[in-house]
Amino acid sequence: MEIKGISGIGVSAAFPLDKASSSTSVSDGAGRFFKELVGKVNDLSQQSDQAIQKLATGENKNLHETMIAVEKASVSFLFMSQVRNKALEAYQEVMRMSV
């Protein structure tokens, strides 16, 4: 019986390398990953702000949708900050290694 691995999960999924260009490195993939992450968190934050503004002006009367948007923004920001903390810890650990 052959067991196949799960594709699309792991470091290669988080930091995809473009096989067409040989100059792409892992640091470029990591930079792109963090740039996309910050962009998505920013988008959710802006959506949250718009939902709050619509609720305050009476344009939207659904409090539940507004609270969901606020919580999505909050959770995404907490996730981003934890990813940043882990990346910083990994960097500091690498810098402490002796050559």
> Residue 28: its pLDDT value, please?
84
Cβ count within 10 A of residue 44: 20
> Residue 22: its pLDDT value, please?
46
pLDDT, tens digit, for every residue of 9-31?
454 555 455 555 545 677 788 88
> Residue 67: its pLDDT value, please?
95
Residue 86 has pLDDT above 90, yes or no: yes
**Secondary structure E strands in the chain:** none
What is the distance between the alpha carbons of residues 24 and 10, in angstroms, rounded to a whole number?
18
Question: How do the domains of the chain map onto residue ranges?
Answer: 23-96
pLDDT, tens digit, for every residue of 46-75?
999 999 999 999 998 899 999 999 999 999
